[in-house]
Amino acid sequence: MVKICCIGAGYVGGPTMAVIALKCPSIEVAVVDISVARITAWNSDQLPIYEPGLDGVVKECRGRNLFFSTDVEKHVFEADIVFVSVNTPTKTRGLGAGKAADLTYWESAARMIADVSKSDKIVVEKSTVPVKTAEAIEKILTHNSKGIKFQILSNPEFLAEGTAIKDLFNPDRVLIGGRETPEGQKAIAALKAVYAHWVPEDRILTTNLWSAELSKLAANAFLAQRISSVNAISALCEATGANVSQVAYSVGTDSRIGPKFLNASVGFGGSCFQKDILNLVYICECNGLPEVAEYWKQVIKINDYQKNRFVNRVVASMFNTVSNKKIAILGFAFKKDTGDTRETPAIDVCKGLLGDKARLSIYDPQVTEDQIQRDLTLSKFEWDHPTHLQPMSPTTVKQVSVVWDAYEATKEAHAVCILTEWDEFKNLDYKRVYDNMQKPAFIFDGRNVVDADKLRDIGFIVFSIGKPLDPWLKDMPAVA
């Protein structure tokens, strides 16, 4: 029986291994992590991450050919294929701070694999890593191998949170990069055979190591660039009276461009986009390509600009101050159908409003109060380190209350900011919301989920990203 071990039981490792276990009943899959709390959650009825469809997959396989354990060394020792899916946070100090990936956790995983291995193994990069990481890991393993042979493969994930299980069941492509040697090709074939249990062969792409690593960064950079492009156009739409939804629809009907990732919003978030672009910037700078680095930097600058612009619009519209005003925040996750808050634009919007002394009442159907308070107190990039290396008890932000009902959040509020496109926000009883708010009542729709005209008929003053401005707002320009 082939044995697979995955180091790291997070958003990538957990769902990916669960689907491999489901689709390959003849393979034993172990997911290991040093976090006792995380492994306990994977073995319970309350999984540590929310992802539609994940629950059913885990429960079908767990205890049969899918195991979650903290005994990292035992399962690495037994495995034929070791996936490494550990954190690769952005460095906060030293060379490349604020851009380069911190490979501390990857390096310690590689050294541990070398220490405990007594048989040849295929080691698979599953984390998002900078180009040439495989080469570094290969050196660590080779120099510590004691005669054992390791083959390194790059197998980047292309999951979208909220649809991860669907993406794993029916991927656009599976990408496997390896050495162009007989041993490297044999390792590629072994991993390909795992995915071939359910993925059509023409969707399993094989490349050299560097191409696979760079493809992941490039894919995320291209997607983020599309969002920044439509967000840049949204600012122009507001200034001219155009409607960004109409512009985006028109542009998206061009078959060369396509309609995906053209929704204007308060900004992109998630664990990968910013991190991968910063990584790309750093690699370009290290390779003497400052113009290319500057190009990709601009994608992040527009994203930051969009969040700042939104905060400025809120403050300017409300008589240039939100001091001591209650503002309801609907949605904190970076997108709907996930509880993930990594790099969510809600963090920067909330911090901006708190900077002007607003009182925030936050509601998100999947994010806990503890997580929200943590996100609002952690420094930039700290979120991406394992929890046990983060500040243990972040001080709570006194001006923030977290509630479990949208109507409670909006009660007595001066304004509502919609920051995640949860379906339930489209269907709220906005007449009831309006009746219980302070007047004038404002709605700032950062995701274009509500019908602005209907809300204006109720009495709201409405701002929707990239849409013609409410007459009220034209008199109160927001300069970013």
Known binding residues? 8-13, 33, 38, 86-90, 127-128, 161, 272-275, 342
User: Whole-angstrom distance between the N-terminal and C-terminal Cα of the chain?
Assistant: 60
> In this structure, what is the dihedral angle of CA atoms 267, 271, 275, 280, given to the nearest 10 degrees?
-90
Contact 417, 314 (CB under 8 A): yes
Binding site for NAD(+): what residues are annotated? 8-13, 33, 38, 86-90, 127-128, 161, 272-275, 342
Segment holding 328, helix H or strand E: strand 326-330
Cα separation, 231 vs 466, whole angstroms? 8
> CB neighbours (10 Å) of residue 59?
13
**Rounded-to-integer distance, Cα 125 and Cα 140, Å:** 14
Residue type, 399: Q
Which tokens belong to 410?
Answer: 């909006």
What single letter denotes the amino acid at residue 405?
D
Catalytically annotated residues? 272
Cβ proximity of 88 and 129 under 8 Å:
yes
Rounded Cα distance, 454 and 449, in Å: 12
Cβ atoms of residues 15 and 54 within 8 Å: yes
**Do 308 and 352 contact (CB within 8 A), yes or no?**
yes
For residue 362 the two structure tokens come to 């936050």
C-alpha atoms less than 13 angstroms from C-alpha of 4 in its C-beta half-sphere: 28
